[in-house]
């Protein structure tokens, strides 16, 4: 099955990623992004408490947050991890390419998913 043959509901799939940004639902978005049922919003280039504030605001609307940390992964900073746990949001940490692929799979399964994606350089 090809991407254009899959149903994603109202949310837009991540078509591709590359240095400096993402193609989401056919549009090129430069920089890091937060992708959710609320749409696409710019994000900081690091995973910090201010970067996850929009995620915490939509905690009741998502079950899992995929965090694409760039080309490699590292543990979340303690305050970020604790804030997400307190909000009851499941978190999966992975590289940005893996997060893009996982987001599309979960979206096709009609899961309540959001992705915080750090752009590759």
CATH number at residue 111: 3.40.1230.10
Compute the distance between CA of residue 100 and CA of residue 39 in angstroms, rounded to an integer.
15
Nearest to residue 47, comparing CAs of 32, 59, 37, 36? 32
Q: Which residue is associated with the tokens 């920089």?
A: 31
Q: Which pLDDT belongs to residue 1?
A: 45
Q: Which residue is associated with the tokens 């992004």?
A: 33
Q: Which pLDDT belongs to residue 9?
A: 59
What pLDDT band is residue 111 in, cutting at 50, 70 and 90? very high
What pLDDT band is residue 34 in, cutting at 50, 70 and 90? very high
Compute the distance between CA of residue 39 and CA of residue 121 in angstroms, rounded to an integer.
23
Asked if the model's pLDDT at residue 57 lies above 60, the reply is yes
Q: Which pLDDT belongs to residue 11?
A: 84
Q: Which pLDDT belongs to residue 8?
A: 54
Report the alpha-carbon angle 105-50-19, nearest 5.
Answer: 50
Q: Which pLDDT belongs to residue 107?
A: 94
Q: How many domains does the chain have?
A: 1
To the nearest 5 percent, what fractions of the chain are helix, strand and coil? 30, 30, 40
In the numeric block, which tokens belong to residue 66?
A: 């995929």
* Domain, as residue range, for 92: 3-117
| DSSP H or E segment with residue 117 | strand 113-117
Beta-carbon contacts of 47 under 8 Å, excluding residues fewer than 6 positions away, are 67, 69, 76, 77, 80, 116, 118
What pLDDT band is residue 2 in, cutting at 50, 70 and 90? low
Q: What confidence tens digit (pLDDT) does each residue in 64-108 have?
A: 999 999 999 999 999 999 999 999 999 999 999 999 999 999 999
């Amino acid at each position: 099955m090809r991407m254009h043959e899959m149903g994603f509901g109202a949310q837009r799939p991540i078509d591709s990623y590359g240095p400096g940004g993402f193609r989401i639902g056919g549009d090129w978005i430069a920089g890091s992004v937060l992708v959710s049922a609320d749409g696409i919003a710019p994000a900081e280039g690091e995973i910090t408490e201010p970067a996850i504030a929009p995620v915490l605001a939509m905690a009741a609307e998502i079950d899992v947050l995929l965090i694409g940390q760039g080309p490699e992964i590292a543990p979340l900073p303690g305050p970020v991890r604790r804030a997400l746990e307190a909000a009851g949001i499941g978190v999966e940490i992975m590289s940005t390419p893996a997060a893009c692929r996982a987001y599309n799979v979960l979206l096709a399964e009609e899961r309540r998913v959001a992705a915080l994606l750090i752009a590759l350089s």
